[in-house]
Amino acid sequence: MKKLSTLHRLRAYVGRYRARLLLGALCVSLSNLAAIASPRFLKYAIDSLGGSISKEKLLAYSALIVVFAVLEGIFLFLMRKIMIGVSRYIEYDLRNDLFAHLLGLSRRYYQNHKTGDIMSRATNDMNAVRMLLGPGIMYSANTIVRMIVVLFFMLHIHVTLTLFALATIPIVSLAVRYFGAVIHKRFEKIQEAFSEISARVQENLAGIRVIKAFTQESSEIEQFKRLSQEYISQEYIHKNLGLIRVWGAFYPMLGALLGVGGVFVLWFGGREVMAGRITLGDFVAFNAYLGMLSWPMIALGWVINIIERGSASMGRINHIFDAQPEIKDDSVSVSPVPFILQDKSGSRSLPAGPVLSEIQGEIEFKNLSFAYNGTRVLRDINLRIPRGATYSIVGETGSGKSTLINLLARTYESTDGEILIDGLPIQKYPLRSLRSQMGYVPQETFLFSDTIRENIAFGVEEASQTAVHEAARLAQILPDVEGFPKRFETLIGERGITLSGGQQQRTAIARALIRNPRILILDDALSSVDTYTEERILTALKEIMRGRTSILISHRVSTVKFADQIIVLNQGSIVERGTHEELLDRGGYYAELYQKQLLEEELAGA
Amino acid sequence: MQHHEEEALGKAYDSHLMRRLLRYLAPYRIQVFLALLITAAASLLQVCGPYLTKIGIDRYIVTKNYEGLNKVALIYVSIIILGFLLGYIQTYIMQLTGQKIMYDLRLEIFTHLQRLPLAFFDRNPVGRLMTRVTTDVDVLNELFTAGVVTLLGDVLVLLGIVVIIFYLNFKLALVAMSVIPLIFLITVVFKIKARDSYRRVRTAIARINAFLQEHITGMSIVQLFNHERKSFAQFDEINRGHLTANLDSVMAYSVFFPAVQVVSALAIALIIWYGGGQVIERELSFGALVAFIQYSERFFRPIADLSEKYNILQSAMASSERIFKLLDFPIDIKQPEQPVRLKEIQGEIEFRHVWFAYNRLDPKKESAGPATGRALPALNPVTRESEWDWVLKDVSFKVNPGEAVAVVGHTGAGKTTLTSLLMRFYDIQKGEILLDGHDIRTLDLQQLRRSFGFVLQDVFLFSGTIASNIRLGTPGITEEAIYRAAQDVNLEEFVEELPNGYVEEVKERGSTLSTGQKQLIAFARALAHDPRNLILDEATSSVDTDTELKIRDAIARLMQGRTSIIIAHRLSTIQNADKIIVMHKGQIREIGTHQELLAQRGIYYKLYQLQYKDQELPLART
Ligand SMILES: Nc1ncnc2c1ncn2[C@@H]1O[C@H](COP(=O)(O)OP(=O)(O)OP(=O)(O)O)[C@@H](O)[C@H]1O
Ligand SMILES: Nc1ncnc2c1ncn2[C@@H]1O[C@H](COP(=O)(O)OP(=O)(O)OP(=O)(O)O)[C@@H](O)[C@H]1O
Ligand SMILES: [Mg+2]
Ligand SMILES: [Mg+2]
């Protein structure tokens, strides 16, 4: 019962709306009871037509049919409103929870899963699950109730005839099981293929500049063609049990089986009427009952499809839910109870708000080694950064500088060795409060498609106009912003594409500064700004960094030289440390770096 | 959360859109025709059932004719089996055709997307565009497979029923049909209710997509800046908008189905009351009465279904509207009618009084821009200068074939813009850009772009392998060339240490590589394409000095006899340039060699001083 286990997660959600669903089920029953009355009156009317009947009597029967139909209509309306409504609520809950869960997943997860794929699960698959929860449940309930009620009344009229009429039901249920399984399997594949297409399109659009620059359009189209051909042909058409073939047979088959039942009724029921064992009214009523089954039966095909699709999709969504955040708070955090964000329905929880009193900012790496997967990237790092000090890190590309920062900010978890802040391992701090103490300018800038103001104020709860202004000023982005027609309200494109490289980077610096952090980390954050601006930012930073622990990563001597200590990383190990002057005297990597950069300048100046 | 405004929707049924949609059926007209034919036959068969019942009752049951009953039953069964077969074939054909149409459409959209100018992508979130190729197309699939043909089948069934019942008994048929106006009334009310909420649903979905796309890609920033709670609140708001819009539409849909049900019962009641009276007066047979009742049931079933169909139709209209809007977005940067194909590109580049703006200044006019994604207006002689937010102002310079030119200037001065224009990512408003004496707007676009090897400031890697990222989809780049390019950018050592070497997996955006490594791969990519001209936009900004120096030697060798444009903030990296262009706030301020510019004591001199001073201080001490 694989299906049941994939749907297990939904139980809690469904349970939340138990009362409403029960009410819905009640409406299903009542509407069916009301519906069943109509063939009764039909029978009475027809039977009495044989004898002598007054027109008033006929009118009364007709009126009763309408009255019961109105009753049925009311309950049908309630049933839909309640049950479809509940499915919408559950969809809302589920989607919120999914996003909340995504918010907690670590970098490694996003590295291993494509954006397009995750999106496809959160939207396309979510929709399939919603269909299962809404029409899926509603029509199943309706079909079941109707079967029972109708069966009862049919049996009441004639047992054998009922057996004849429903002789095809076992075949129907076999067909349902068989086709259901096939649809499930096919649909899983189709959703996978769909995900692949999404991911492909997503990457293509995100990298459109490169594609245009290298005139890769036709090659991209070719690849896309192949992928979407696969999507339709593999899954829909060619495989010996392509969905189309199955689906094409399934639907008409249900109708046909039911129709055959109808013929049985005509044939056998007709004989019974002739033999006088049932009245013509019974016969007509019987036909009407069978007619009442026809729609639910046909709906059954549809419902099976919905349920199979829904459960296949739920399985795919479960993949996301089942991913455990690699990095999360220890149970024994410094703060006992992170306050929980409560939604109105009381379902979601996200730890919120800094709970930690300000840290001092002393950082220590102790025997730290690290490998992303297999290959060592950091080796036995021992480094203590006293609070308020400014340390710089230089080193070749790929020497592990950013990795060190990743570990400090806990984007990755250190496994070998320890990182301490104020003497406590960072794992002991709640993640939120740890990060809230850091102002981090990542090496690669990511901005959101929002206003410049919102982007700068991104990392703080509330930001006043003056705070944004001040941060922008310190990061030297203010003159640029003032040059834009809409100033701070200027909208920027996704990832910041409508800003120049340097403007993006400076916005990111402002975003870090506005947090007023105890620990400031700049990972090569001046790589895209000119010397003049760099100089001005550094001057501003020197002021800000006073009293804060700061880590500056750069390839430029000019950026790092004023630091209290300069660390040279090589292949993941610290090979030199000391002040600018000390390192120059030592004549190692740093001195060489200095000479090279100096030499360039001299050459240029000569 | 701007950029997300989903366009307001038009009508639920738009004949113009529909006609355009039906055009996609044209290549498959044989299949469609066949399906229609089959549908018609199947509908006919469907209409037969109750009539057979009538015959069974009137001719045989009432007269106790067993033989006859057997015959009718047999005919009935054959009809059902035939109906099943027809139904199967019809579904099969339509599903197949539907898939093929979807394939065509998807490809057309994707192809169009590849041709759209970059200005379009500056304004439209990736998440939203993705929806066009994926979900929106799927919605249309439903229209083609479940909509068009079945709708026709339904109409045929309805017509058939009307014909038969009027044939059976005109008066009773009139009475039964008297409820039809009620159906119209219900439908009209439903339409109004359903439409508004539907529009809100679509908008909400588009927002959800765009939001998710952006937040999934930027998740680590969200986490590092403790933005989870705010992000969640934003998402919740969008999600809630989706919920309430849906709940509103639930209301409309919930009313419709039961209402039709009631009307259907009303019709049956009328038949019993009036028809029953006729039976008593021997104007109508029993069988005919029963057939009437069965017909009226069958009559209302497709109508009750209408709300579903309406939903499909409405979704399809909305999706097609958006798809067509995308397809109609003008490709204003395209291959010229009669492109000039140069035999050999010398690499002479000239900018003549180039003026360029990304946006218009006037906010009122601009508002039409971002949301609907309208193209930047083409060069218009009457546009006044003050209307534009100029990024480049009257830029003129010339690069001789084989020269290396450096562009320097403060950040935001317009350096990257300059290169984008040269690649014809955007078209300029005024002036001319010439390559080998030809206006680039007259040149073959592919040839133009191919002649440049471009290392973009913003590095982008695709998921795949290191080799596939260097080669991209360009045929004819050999393994050899890839190794050589990697060697030139000093990547060789790193790659060879990887477990899988050049076929080591690269994840989305190269997320498992260091920034410098990514930049080097992008650099290698440009070199492997062996271009006539090279544009390096901050191509080594994230690379250590050692590597940078090594690359520089390789580049110097490679660029012998080729034109190159190098943008760099580190003045030291451009020392060998034949010419240095100093940009300031969108204008060229100084042009000359390093020595000339120093002598000029302008901006360049100041920039230089700044860097030089940096180095001098400690030098004095050592
Ligand atoms: N997520 C990851 N998974 C696997 N390997 C990784 C990952 N991130 C980085 N690496 C590898 O670890 C090494 C160190 O990377 P890191 O980003 O720390 O370098 P870096 O010193 O910051 O370099 P750069 O100066 O280029 O920014 C590199 O060889 C890189 O390929
Ligand atoms: N796609 C765009 N849409 C609108 N405005 C843009 C776009 N790209 C750049 N701009 C604006 O045009 C101006 C010039 O940008 P450009 O990228 O050319 O600068 P740059 O000289 O390359 O700067 P940097 O050294 O920081 O990379 C900037 O003010 C920027 O905000
Ligand atoms: Mg790094
Ligand atoms: Mg730039």
How confident is the model over B407-446, as pLDDT tens digits?
888 888 888 899 888 888 888 888 888 888 888 888 888 8
Residue B428 has which token pair? 């300029």
Q: Average of pLDDT values for B455-462? A: 84
Q: Which residues of B touch A245 (CB under 8 A)?
A: 92
Taking alpha carbons only, the member of B311, B318, B313, B180 closest to residue B254 is B311
Q: Express each pLDDT in A493-510 by its tens digit.
A: 778 778 888 888 889 999
Q: Average of pLDDT values for B567-593? A: 80
Question: Which residue of B496, B514, B519 sits with most ligand 1 atoms within 8 Å of its CB, as the best mutation to test the pocket?
Answer: B514
Q: Average of pLDDT values for A101-129? A: 86
Closest approach atom of ligand 1 to CA B518: 26
CB contact under 8 A, A103 and B219: yes
Query: Residues A517, A522, A525, A530: what is their CA dihedral angle, to the nearest 10 degrees?
Result: 90
Residue A353, pLDDT score: 40
Q: Write the residue with the smallest CA distance to atom 18 of ligand 2.
A: B414
> Which domains can be identified in chain B, with CATH numbers?
11-327 (1.20.1560.10)
Residue B575 has phi, psi (to 5 degrees) of -60, -30
Q: Which residues of A touch B235 (CB under 8 A)?
A: 96, 99
Ligand approaching nearest to the C-alpha of A108? 1
Is residue B618 very low, low, confident or very high in pLDDT (cuts 50, 70, 90)?
very low
CA atoms within 13 A on the CB side of A86: 26
pLDDT at residue B73 is higher than 50: yes
Nearest CA in chain B to A599: B572
Residue B620, pLDDT score: 34
Mean of all residue pLDDT scores within chain A? 81
Is residue B464 very low, low, confident or very high in pLDDT (cuts 50, 70, 90)?
confident
pLDDT at residue A240 is higher than 70: no
pLDDT at residue A369 is higher than 80: yes
Residue B619, pLDDT score: 38
Q: Is A361 left (phi over 0), alpha (psi -120 to 50) or beta?
A: left
Q: Average of pLDDT values for A85-113? A: 88
Question: Which residue of A490, A497, A503 sits with most ligand 2 atoms within 8 Å of its CB, as the best mutation to test the pocket?
Answer: A503
Facing residue for A493 by CB, picked from B115, B123, B266: B123
pLDDT at residue A340 is higher than 70: no
How distant, in Å, are the alpha carbons of A465, B43, B399, B511 from that of B547?
A: 43, 76, 28, 21
- Alpha helix ranges (H) inside A233-373: 243-264, 270-274, 280-322
Sort B305 into a burial class: Cβ within 10 Å, 0-12 / 13-18 / 19+. middle
Asked: is A340-605 a CATH 2.40.30.10 domain? The reply is no
Q: Average of pLDDT values for A397-412? A: 87
Nearest Cα of chain B lies from the Cα of A1 at a distance, in angstroms, of: 30
Comparison of pLDDT for A52 and A241, the residue scoring more: A52
How many CB pairs below 8 A link A and B? 533
pLDDT at residue B320 is higher than 50: yes
pLDDT at residue B583 is higher than 50: yes
Q: Write the residue with the smallest CA distance to atom 8 of ligand 1.
A: B512
Facing residue for A271 by CB, picked from B69, B85, B457: B69
pLDDT at residue B259 is higher than 80: yes
Is residue B621 very low, low, confident or very high in pLDDT (cuts 50, 70, 90)?
very low
Q: Average of pLDDT values for A134-145? A: 87
Closest approach atom of ligand 2 to CA B538: 27
* R_g (Cα) of chain B, nearest Å: 35
Residue B445 has which token pair? 């676009």
A86 touches chain B (CB under 8 A): no
Nearest Cα of chain A lies from the Cα of B14 at a distance, in angstroms, of: 26
Residue A4, pLDDT score: 58
Q: Which residues of A touch B509 (CB under 8 A)?
A: 206
Contact A7, A51 (CB under 8 A): no
Residue B187 has which token pair? 């439908």
Comparison of pLDDT for B599 and A370, the residue scoring more: A370
Length of chain A: 606
Residue B569 has which token pair? 């903030």
pLDDT at residue A78 is higher than 60: yes
CB neighbours of A590 closer than 8 A, spacing ≥ 6? A394, A557, A566, A568, A576, A583, A584
Residue B479, pLDDT score: 87
Please state, for a pLDDT cut of 70, what percent of chain B lies above it.
90
Comparison of pLDDT for B485 and A353, the residue scoring more: B485
Q: Write the residue with the smallest CA distance to atom 25 of ligand 1.
A: A397
Residue B578, pLDDT score: 84
Domains A17-322 and A340-605 share a fold: no
A214 touches chain B (CB under 8 A): yes
Residue A394, pLDDT score: 87
CB contact under 8 A, B474 and A295: no
Structural domain boundaries of chain A? 17-322, 340-605
Q: Write the residue with the smallest CA distance to atom 17 of ligand 1.
A: B514
Q: How far is the CA of A532 from the centre of ligand 4 (A)?
A: 15
DSSP state of A359: P
Nearest Cα of chain B lies from the Cα of A578 at a distance, in angstroms, of: 15
* R_g (Cα) of chain A, nearest Å: 35
Could you give the ipTM of this predicted complex? 0.82
pLDDT at residue B218 is higher than 70: yes
A238 touches chain B (CB under 8 A): no
How distant, in Å, are the alpha carbons of B267, B286, B590 from that of B175?
A: 8, 17, 92
The secondary structure of A429-486 as a DSSP string is: S-HHHHHHTEEEE-SS----SSBHHHHHGGGSS---HHHHHHHHHHTT-HHHHHHSTT
A606 touches chain B (CB under 8 A): no
Comparison of pLDDT for B184 and B380, the residue scoring more: B184
Sort A479 into a burial class: Cβ within 10 Å, 0-12 / 13-18 / 19+. middle
Q: Any idea which residue has 């300031």 for tokens?
A: B584
Residues lining ligand 2, Cβ inside 6 A: A 497-503, 528; B 122, 358-359, 391, 409, 411-417, 457
CATH of domain A17-322: 1.20.1560.10
Q: Is B474 in the pocket of ligand 1 (CB under 6 A)?
A: no
- B-contacting residues in A 388-407 (Cβ below 8 Å): 394-398, 402
Q: Express each pLDDT in A258-267 by its tens digit.
A: 788 888 887 8
Listed range (A195-209, A442-456, A585-599, B471-485) with the worst mean pLDDT: A585-599
Q: How far is the CA of A447 from the centre of ligand 2 (A)?
A: 15
Nearest CA in chain B to A344: B236
CA B60/CA B52 separation, integer angstroms: 11
Residues within 5 Å of ion ligand 3 by Cβ? A 402, 443; B 514-515
Q: Average of pLDDT values for A213-242? A: 72
Is residue A89 very low, low, confident or very high in pLDDT (cuts 50, 70, 90)?
very high
Closest approach atom of ligand 2 to CA B410: 25
Q: Express each pLDDT in B374-392 by its tens digit.
A: 344 444 444 555 677 788 8
CA B231/CA A450 separation, integer angstroms: 13
CB contact under 8 A, A259 and B80: yes
Is residue B622 very low, low, confident or very high in pLDDT (cuts 50, 70, 90)?
very low
pLDDT at residue A341 is higher than 50: no
Q: Average of pLDDT values for A371-377? A: 83
CB contact under 8 A, A598 and B213: no
Q: Which residues of A touch B250 (CB under 8 A)?
A: 80-81, 84-85, 88
A105 touches chain B (CB under 8 A): yes
According to DSSP, the β-strands at B533-537 and B452-455 are parallel
CB contact under 8 A, B507 and A112: yes
Contact A521, A511 (CB under 8 A): no
Q: Is A401 in the pocket of ligand 1 (CB under 6 A)?
A: yes
Q: Which residues of B touch A561 (CB under 8 A)?
A: 618
Q: How far is the CA of B353 from the centre of ligand 4 (A)?
A: 21
A24's enclosing H/E stretch is: helix A18-50
Mean of all residue pLDDT scores within chain B? 80
Q: Is A554 in the pocket of ligand 1 (CB under 6 A)?
A: no
- Taking the whole predicted model, whether its pTM rises above 0.90 is answered as no
